[in-house]
Amino acid sequence: MHRHLRLGVNIDHVATIRNARGGSHPDPVRAAGLAAKAGADGITAHLREDRRHISDEDIDRLMAEIRLPLNLEMAATPEMVAIAIRHRPHAACIVPERREERTTEGGLDVVRGQQTLAPMVARLTAAGIRVSLFIEPELTQLTAAVAIGAPVVELHTGAYCDATGPARDRELTRLAAAAVQAHAMGLECHAGHGLGYDTVSAVAAIPTIVELNIGHFLIGEAIFDGLEHAIARMQALMGRASS
């Protein structure tokens, strides 16, 4: 059976390059417009607490100027919940955040954070936002996600992408098992982090995953091939692996 595996394009690192010089070029919202033209299914942007790449104004403009659904990545803080509720993006993906990290390292610990996360999931959901939790592919995390009422999980593919040899196979098996369990538990299952042309197909072939969020590789590849081509090539790989 054919399924359409959605691609969310994460534009954070267009803003990273812009911010390196403090001006307005390159504009991540323009990149989002190009991604839409290239056939992306959604735009993902992480408004970090330290605003190191995406800014509040970027979020204002993404909501106003881009037709594609916005997936707002955010830390589990009252400030971010208030911002999400003010903007009402299509989706909010709650991620762990530490200031010193280079990127989102490791998934959210939903098991330990249930008490704090549950009311946030409820408030975002009540505002009409589809909430996902970015977690490691582990049964305990899936169970906790269900317990606090999250409709969606995004499985962290970083360990799979970083591994080599037999360790990579083991990580893929873990991802596939978690994706099957998530589906059986009634969760919508997404995946992302670190994916590129070499790693996307095996993840896209997992039948219960319905969306991939990809950023760093696509923005990097855009330097050589243009953003639209890079997105089209990624989608072709995803389409081939998932049909």
For ligand PXP, what does the binding mask look like between residues 154 and 193, x meaning CB under 6 A?
Answer: x-------------------------------------xx
Check binding of 216 to ligand PXP (CB under 6 A). Answer: yes
Check binding of 237 to ligand PXP (CB under 6 A). Answer: no
Check binding of 215 to ligand PXP (CB under 6 A). Answer: yes
Tokens of 129: 């936002």
In whole angstroms, the minimum distance from the beta carbon of 53 to ligand PXP comes to 9
Burial class (CB in 10 A: 0-12, 13-18, 19+), 86: exposed
Based on CB atoms, which residue is closest to ligand PXP, 149 or 220? 220
Instruction: Specify whether the backbone of 149 is left (phi greater than 0), alpha (psi in -120 to 50) or beta.
Output: left
Q: Which of 87, 193, 211, 221 is catalytic?
A: 193
Cα gap 123→233, rounded to integer Å? 38
At a CB cut-off of 8 Å and minimum separation 6, what does 106 contact?
96, 136, 156, 158
Q: Is residue 73 annotated as part of the catalytic site, yes or no?
A: yes
Q: Is residue 183 annotated as part of the catalytic site, yes or no?
A: no
Check binding of 95 to ligand PXP (CB under 6 A). Answer: yes
Q: Which of 46, 87, 156, 190 is catalytic?
A: 46
Check binding of 136 to ligand PXP (CB under 6 A). Answer: no
Among 84, 195, 231, 237, binds ligand PXP (CB under 6 A): 195
- Closest to 29 in 3D by CA, of 52, 63, 3, 6: 63
Binding region for ligand PXP (CB under 6 A) out of 119-127, 139-147, 214-222, 235-243: 214-222
Based on CB atoms, which residue is closest to ligand PXP, 135 or 148? 135
Tokens of 56: 């509040």
Cα gap 19→231, rounded to integer Å? 23
β-bridge mates for residue 131, sequence order:
92
Check binding of 31 to ligand PXP (CB under 6 A). Answer: no
At a CB cut-off of 8 Å and minimum separation 6, what does 48 contact?
54, 75, 97
Active site members: 46, 73, 193
Tell me which residues touch ligand PXP (CB under 6 A): 10, 12, 46, 73, 93, 95, 103-104, 134, 154, 192-195, 213-217
